[in-house]
Amino acid sequence: MQPVRSQTATGHQTSALATNQVLRNTYLLLSMTLVFSALMAGVAMAINAPYGIGLVCSLAALGLLWFVVPRTAHSASGLYAVFAVTGLLGFGLGPVINAYLTGFANGGQIVMLAMGTTGVTFVGLSAYAIKSGRDFSFMRQALMAGILIAFVAAMGMLVASLFGVYFEPLALAISAAFAVLMCGLILYQTGEIINGGETNYILATIGLYIAIYNLFTSLLHLLGFGMGED
């Protein structure tokens, strides 16, 4: 019986090492993409890119997420796709941040508070998921359904705004829903990594980046409404 126990122990050790490697690679790539995204946002702000460029960048990034990232995630070219997605989203975020900085007297405070809250939330939820070791896979279907509904609602709001129709309470409800859903996505994605459900660090990075990005933009909207000063 001893050889069986040894093989089992060795298998667990190998699995733990592989999981730790995925986690390290994910956080390393995530930190690099966040820095790159911030640099691209800075470029967009410096050249005063038009506000509408955000929609173009978001649509381009969405296309890459749907059609390119899944096909390249298991090869080195997947890294280029990740930086393309995060660079586009970062560049598109620049005009949004500029709008808050110039549109509110306390715009800088709003942006920094949204950024700080996003960082603290991400670190706290990730630490909880890692320390607890819980399996959050039960959240998958609810998260996917919630994100789909919120996304469709957001697209509907966007189309309506093009015709001059804007309903602030619904927009705030969508932002609040996205903030809650992204917190759940951080827990789910981190749990998948530490429990072996996600072994591809490129896909894991994209999942966490999207959660952080949407959490930040949602908090930005909520804080701008709640504490914005003209």
Judged against a pLDDT cut of 80, whether residue 199 lies above it is answered with yes
Q: What is the pLDDT of residue 228?
A: 74
Give 26-35 pLDDT, tens digit per residue.
999 999 999 9
pLDDT score at 224: 94
Give the pLDDT confidence score for residue 202 in this predicted structure.
Answer: 96
Tens digits of residue pLDDT in 42-90: 999 999 999 889 889 999 999 999 999 999 999 999 999 999 999 999 9
10: which 2 tokens? Answer: 């060795």
- pTM, two decimals, is 0.91
Residue 174 CB: number of other CB atoms within 10 A? 20
Mind listing the pLDDT tens digit for each residue in 89-144? 999 999 999 999 999 999 999 999 999 999 999 999 999 999 999 999 999 999 99
**Residues recorded for the chain:** 230
Q: Which residue from 220, 221, 132, 141 is spatially nearest to 181, judged by alpha carbons?
A: 141
Indicate the pLDDT class of residue 4, thresholds 50, 70 and 90.
very low
Number of domains observed in the structure of the chain: 1
* Residue 13 or residue 38, greater confidence: 38
What is the CB neighbour count within 10 angstroms for residue 1? Answer: 5
Q: What is the pLDDT of residues 162-186, one digit of tens each?
A: 788 888 899 999 999 999 999 999 9
Report the alpha-carbon distance of residue 28 to residue 9 in Å, rounded: 28
Structural domain boundaries enclosing 161: 2-227
* Pairwise CA distance, residues 139 & 181, whole Å: 10
Helix (H, G, I), strand (E, B) or coil at 155: helix
Using the predicted structure, report yes or no on whether residue 2 has a pLDDT greater than 50. Answer: no
Distance CA 74, CA 62 (A): 19
* pLDDT score recorded for residue 148: 94
Can you give the pLDDT at residue 66?
A: 93
pLDDT number for residue 10: 52
For 46-105, the DSSP string reads: HTT--TTHHHHHHHHHHHHHHHTHHHHTTSTHHHHHHHHHHHHHHHHHHHHHHHHHHHST
Q: Indicate the pLDDT class of residue 14, thresholds 50, 70 and 90.
A: low
